[in-house]
């Protein structure tokens, strides 16, 4: 199942979730009505004994009133929880006691974790998500949380970095990246909101009981008070029933997704021993994968492994048994779990040696491997490029590792912290002409943070030496650091960047792409944005927008009009509708392209690859891949929420 099929599956799973939720609500409405009728005598027991029809005896108006009340309570409880989680994965991580790992951490174990996350993010063509550490948690576990890859975070327990080797850690992180790309995170947050609504009935019962017992002190309680206490106890019992239903819903939705994420992790790393080793290590530890935080039950379905245990845990388990997961990955497993800690100095040294060997892979060897995978439609099969989305190969991870290793240490260090990240981005848009550059630097001296301005000046010479293929990975490294800015700092940074780009009275496509990628990932972090909903099931519905964007791409990669027509026609041939004609350069503006991309972002998941394949066909038409084509393609795919792996130039 590829990235787009997974995204579409999540949409269908959302329908399944709504159906299960509706059934649970209906059941709770019926049970609450029966409880009220029994407690307050709405059913005439004597008539029932004499053979009266139960349906005739029921007060349907009261039934409807109670039903609406229960429905409203559940709905309000669900919406409230979803609103509290609107900040994305950050809210989930902090609710579990997670602490953000700074990009410039000196802790070796934390550094190893960030390096693994960074490599996989760059290989996937997406900024590295912020990583939160659950300190004090000895169990091996992890989770990914958020609505989209743009607001995703990864949480990891202390036990995970203490007890796993680099390969095992890579397997766990690959599993979590799979959840990010498969759209499971959004489903998880919706599930948390829905279950909170179901459980709210029991919480109300608890408060009614508490209030009744408190107010009843010192005076005799009559039948009314007794009825209220009985109702409260009954609601608490229904709350237990809600917990039971919630567990069943989580189990129904979660288990198969874990198998899929395990398989994706193996595809991702091409190393089944990594994730299988992590699962075996969990089975061999006394504390396994348990999470002690009291908020763990609410997030249990999002964990890498079963994080909680309790009554009827096997029935409502959100994860398949460890043995079954391991057997699917390693059919020849002997059934023995790993009880030895492999994170001693020798193991760490061996892991680092293996990582160094991977990093030392020659550029020529990487080029040979990457050519057949990522070079474009005319050099390799189009489907292979699109299949890399959300599922990059080990070669791509090695390529990302190599790109990071080639960057100057001073540039990497700067990109990993908020001050340096701003300086890196500013230096990327400085004009080559001395007159305009002088105006830009003067503007920064007046408007930017003084320390950022000084850093920008220091980095100019290093940034000018940077290879063109390092631009996008460097942006991906800088974005997590930029997310740590305050709202006011981000507003200033955003305004400064726009001003620097416009200072030469023109915006070229490289500058537009840089701006689009950055704002696409950062605006949602600082501003309340409306999430894009999928509306269009056929690309033909957006024919005008498709023509415009493909025309931009064709002109960007070809200076000659005839060559641009050839690239455009190559793209048009991949589409299932006709009547497409290349627009002239003068008919295109960046503002119109922005509006076109907003509409294309509303395509349903299974339609998006059709558009992306057309883009790849245009890029590969002349068998020459230019930097501007690569950055435009990355910007287009970012807007469509499709993480595009790095393309070899």
Distance linking the first and last C-alpha atoms of the chain: 28
Residue among 383, 419, 478, 377 nearest 121 (CA): 478
Residue among 428, 529, 423, 421 nearest 484 (CA): 421
SS3 606: helix
Angle at 443 (CA atoms; ends 441, 449), nearest 5 degrees? 90
| Burial status of residue 45 (CB atoms within 10 A of its CB: 0-12, 13-18, 19 or more) | exposed
Element (H, E) at 336: none
At 40, phi and psi to the nearest 5?
-105, 10
Element (H, E) at 100: strand 99-100
Element (H, E) at 378: none
- How many residues does this entry show for the chain? 649
At 144, phi and psi to the nearest 5?
-120, 135
Tokens 């059941």 — which residue?
27
Which string of DSSP letters, residue by residue, matches 243-298?
A: HHHHHHHHHHHHHHHHHHHHHHHHHHHS-HHHHHHHHHHHHHSSSTT---STTHHH
DSSP, res 408: -
Residues with catalytic function: 176
DSSP, res 128: P
Residue among 595, 398, 433, 419 nearest 516 (CA): 595
Question: Distance between CA 412 and CA 275 in Å, rounded?
Answer: 29
Tokens 């000659």 — which residue?
560
Question: Distance between CA 239 and CA 639 in Å, rounded?
Answer: 42
Compute how many other C-beta atoms are within 10 angstroms of the C-beta atom of residue 114: 20
Beta bridge partners of 134: 157
């Amino acid at each position: 199942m590829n990235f787009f099929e997974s995204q579409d599956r999540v949409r269908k799973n959302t329908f399944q979730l709504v159906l299960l939720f509706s059934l649970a609500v209906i059941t709770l409405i019926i049970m609450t009505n029966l409880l009220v009728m029994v407690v307050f005598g709405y059913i005439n027991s004597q008539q029932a004994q004499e053979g009266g029809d139960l349906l005739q005896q029921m007060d349907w108006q009261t039934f409807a009133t109670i039903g609406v009340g229960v429905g409203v309570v559940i709905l309000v409880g669900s919406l409230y929880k979803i609103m509290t989680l609107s900040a994305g994965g950050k809210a989930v991580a902090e609710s579990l006691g997670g602490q953000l790992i700074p990009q410039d951490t000196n802790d070796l174990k934390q550094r190893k974790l960030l390096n693994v996350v960074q490599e996989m993010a760059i290989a996937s063509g997406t900024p590295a998500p912020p990583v939160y550490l659950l300190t004090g948690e000895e169990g091996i576990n992890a989770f990914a949380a958020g609505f989209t890859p743009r607001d995703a975070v990864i949480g990891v327990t202390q036990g995970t970095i203490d007890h796993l080797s680099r390969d095992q850690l890579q397997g766990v992180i690959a599993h979590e990246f799979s959840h990010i790309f498969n759209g499971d995170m959004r489903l998880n947050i919706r599930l948390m909101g829905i279950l909170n609504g179901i459980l709210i009935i029991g919480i109300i019962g608890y408060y009614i009981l508490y209030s009744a017992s408190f107010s009843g002190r010192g005076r005799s309680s009559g039948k009314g008070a007794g009825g209220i206490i009985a109702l409260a106890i009954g609601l608490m019992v229904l709350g237990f029933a809600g917990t039971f239903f919630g567990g069943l819903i989580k189990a129904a939705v979660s288990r198969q997704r874990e198998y899929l994420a395990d398989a994706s992790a193996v595809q991702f790393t091409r190393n089944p021993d990594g994730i299988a080793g992590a699962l075996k290590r969990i089975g061999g530890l006394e504390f396994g994968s348990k999470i002690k935080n009291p908020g763990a039950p609410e997030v249990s379905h999002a964990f890498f492994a079963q994080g909680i245990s309790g009554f009827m845990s096997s029935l409502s388990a959100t994860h398949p048994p460890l043995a079954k997961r391991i057997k699917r990955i390693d059919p020849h497993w002997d059934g023995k779990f790993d009880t030895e800690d492999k994170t001693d100095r020798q193991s760490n040294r061996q892991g680092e040696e293996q990582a160094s060997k991977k990093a030392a892979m020659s550029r020529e060897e990487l080029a040979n491997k990457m050519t057949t995978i990522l070079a474009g439609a005319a050099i390799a099969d189009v489907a292979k490029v699109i299949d890399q989305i959300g599922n990059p190969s080990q070669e791509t991870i090695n390529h990302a590792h190599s790109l990071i290793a080639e960057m100057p240490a001073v540039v990497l260090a700067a990109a990993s912290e908020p001050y340096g990240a701003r300086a890196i981005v500013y230096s990327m848009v400085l004009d080559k002409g001395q007159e305009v550059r002088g105006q830009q630097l003067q503007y920064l001296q007046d408007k930017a943070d003084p320390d950022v301005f000084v850093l920008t000046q220091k980095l100019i010479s290093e940034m000018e030496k940077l290879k063109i293929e390092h631009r996008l990975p460097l942006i991906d490294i800088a974005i997590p650091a930029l997310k740590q800015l305050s709202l006011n700092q981000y507003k200033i940074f955003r305004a400064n960047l726009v001003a620097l780009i416009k200072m030469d009275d023109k915006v070229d496509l490289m500058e537009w792409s840089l701006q689009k990628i950055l704002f696409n990932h950062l605006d949602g972090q600082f501003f309340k944005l409306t999430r894009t909903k999928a509306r269009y099931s056929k690309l033909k519905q957006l024919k005008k927008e498709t023509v415009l964007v493909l025309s931009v791409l064709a002109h960007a990669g070809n200076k000659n009009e005839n060559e641009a027509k050839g690239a455009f026609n190559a793209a048009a041939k991949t589409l299932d509708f006709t009547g497409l004609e290349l627009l002239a350069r003068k008919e295109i503006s960046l503002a119109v392209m922005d509006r076109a991309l907003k509409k294309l972002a509303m395509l349903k998941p299974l339609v998006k690859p059709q558009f992306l394949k057309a883009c790849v066909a245009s890029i590969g038409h002349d068998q020459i891949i230019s930097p501007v084509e690569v950055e435009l393609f990355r910007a287009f795919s970012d807007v469509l929420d499709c993480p595009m792996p790095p393309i070899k130039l």
